[in-house]
Every structure is written in C-alpha cells, then in structure tokens.
Amino acid sequence: MEYKDYYEILGVGREATDDQIKKAYRKLARKFHPDVSDSPDAEKRFKEVSEAYEVLKDPEKRAAYDQVGSNWQAGQDFRPPPGWDAGGSFSGGGYSTVDASQFSDFFETLFGGGGAGGFRTDSGPFDRRGEDIDAKVTVDLEDAYRGATRQLTLQSPEATPDGRITRRTRTLNVRIPKGIKQGQKIRLAGQGGPGAGGEPGDLYLQIEFSPHRHYRVDGADVYLDLPVAPWEAGLGATVKIPTPAGTVDLKVPAGSQQGRKLRLKGRGIPAKTPGDFYLVLQIALPPATDRKAKKMYEQMQKEMDFNPRAGLEV
C-alpha cells in the first residue's frame, strides 16, 4: 500500500499552521474542482486534496498521521505498526460531493473510513448550490387553453442532518399557465437538489400533452380531422364543431374535397401570439346496408357523370 504524503499533496511543510493548511486546501480545491477544471486528472487530484485536508485539519488525525509517518522514507510502502488502531469515526470536512468511501486504502487503514457520507465545508466560498432537476409532467390540452393547478408527487434527493443524501417523497401544487406549449418548461425555484452548504437547485418541469382522442398539436396550432357528409362537402353547410375552448359554428364551403384544410384563426393555444385551429375535412360515406340506401347509390351511379380515377388515366 502506498504511503500518502498529505503535506506534499497540499504543498505545505510539516510545520504548517492550521491557517496555512486551510489556505492551501482552498487554493487547490478551487483549482482542481471537477466543475471548473479542464484538467484530465482534476477529479483524482481533487480527491487527493480533500483527503489530505481531512487529515491535516483535524488535530487528532494529524498527530496520529505524524507519528506513524515520522520514519517513512520516499519510495517505501506504508505498513501500520503492530496494534495500530486509529479508532474514532469519520467526520465530514472537505468540500464537494466526495464521499469517504472514495478515499484511498491508506486513509481507510489509518482512520477506518466509515461514518459520514458526503462532505460540506463551513467556508462560504466553497458552499455549493444544489443541482437543478429536470422532470416531465403530463397535462391535458384543455389546461393550456384555460390554465390549471395540478398536484404532483415527486421523489427528490434531500440532505439529512449528518450530511447523507436520501430520497424523500413530496407533493407540490403546480400552476399550469394558460398558453403553455408542449416542450415548454416551468421553473420551480428552490425545489431541486439540496445544496452542500449553499442554496438548493431549481426544479424544471417539461410539459407534455396527454394523447387526445380528437386533437393533435403542432406548436401552438391544433388540428382536428372533421368528418362531413358528401352532401355537406358538395353543397356546403354550417356545422357545429368541438374545440378545447368550446363549440363553434364552421362554414364548410360548397365543393369541398377530401383533405381540405379550413382554418379558424387565433383559436389554437392562446398566447401572446395565439396559434390557429385547423379542420381537415374527411368525407364520410353513409353505409349502403339497406335496400333504400343501395337504391340511392345506384341512382347516383346512373345519373352522375363521375369518375374518381380520372386523374390516373394515362
């Protein structure tokens, strides 16, 4: 097992004061923190610095370390003396999400490792804000037209008094604003991950619309396939149609064909620039299931000069 020279790691002498050790640690922790450093070995160096500081900042650990390391020479493997037992429990000291279990075997042998989970510092500049959390929430299309309040149950991380991270179930009442679009995010400040001495992060809820049996959505525009009878398409008609905002009257122009798109301007999802509501005509043929219906179809066949495949002729 390799001996760890904690003084060398922090770049201080063995006679360094507590303030000098703390100053050296802060400088190196800032330099090698994985969130800010581009160095490929930043995470490894940061763990070494945190481990060294955990030992040297504690008078008891430092004294024990100095005792067992006083006769060590460079290049030697470290073997604790017979009967060595550092005892005690591990107490969080370094900054970051570094965990005691990530320290070296050398530290584990001397100080037993176990105990607290995550680290946090009492030095303001190293307090860390909690992580932002992204989640998806499914709402009805009608909620985007009228606005709504929805109750959500979330599993979220939370720091315990001893510094560990656990998962807690919580319920939030979330306001769905009128005009929200699919894919848009709602920010809930302070509802994200817990901070390590700093403020909690934010929770971002990405909006998804529940599948609707009538409507489909494209951005702020809403579409409805509208069935019409042949005579309504051919002669023209005024029909009542459903929209997420209520029923409206629609004029179907005479001579309309299958697939024709009619627009109701501004009746899509309401917003500063509202979307449009589109009706795509689907001509529905009445079934010829009885004698009377069949006779009418036969009469149309005789009297109407109509070839639906005329455009396919070569």
pLDDT (average), residues 72-92:
46
pLDDT (average), residues 279-295:
94
CA 131 remoteness from chain centre: 10
CA distance 210 to 229: 30
CA distance 93 to 26: 12
CA distance 246 to 240: 10
Write down the CATH number for the domain with range 6-126: 1.10.287.110
This prediction has a pTM of 0.55
User: Using 50, 70 and 90 to split pLDDT, how confident is the model at 112?
Assistant: low
pLDDT (average), residues 10-32:
90
The tens digit of pLDDT for each residue in 233-247 reads: 999 999 999 999 999
Note the residue count of the chain. 314
pLDDT value of position 282 = 96
User: Using 50, 70 and 90 to split pLDDT, how confident is the model at 311?
Assistant: confident
pLDDT (average), residues 33-62:
84
Sequence letter at residue 164: R
User: Going by DSSP bridges, is the β-strand pair 185-188/237-243 parallel, antiparallel, or unpaired?
Assistant: unpaired
Task: Tell me the pLDDT of the chain averaged across its residues.
Answer: 80
pLDDT value of position 1 = 60
Say if 133-209 and 215-303 have the same CATH topology. yes
User: Going by DSSP bridges, is the β-strand pair 246-252/237-243 parallel, antiparallel, or unpaired?
Assistant: antiparallel
How is the chain split into domains, by residue range?
A: 6-126, 133-209, 215-303
User: Using 50, 70 and 90 to split pLDDT, how confident is the model at 115?
Assistant: very low
Q: What is the CATH T-level fold of the domain 215-303, as seen in this structure?
A: HSP40/DNAj peptide-binding domain (2.60.260)
Using a 10 angstrom Cβ sphere, with 0-12 exposed, 13-18 middle and 19 or more buried, the burial of residue 119 is buried
pLDDT value of position 169 = 83
- The CATH number fitting domain 133-209, selected from 2.60.260.20, 3.20.20.60, 2.60.40.10, 3.30.930.10: 2.60.260.20
Q: Would you say 248 and 240 are in contact if contact means Cβ atoms under 8 Å apart?
A: yes
The tens digit of pLDDT for each residue in 159-188 reads: 566 656 567 788 889 999 999 999 999 999
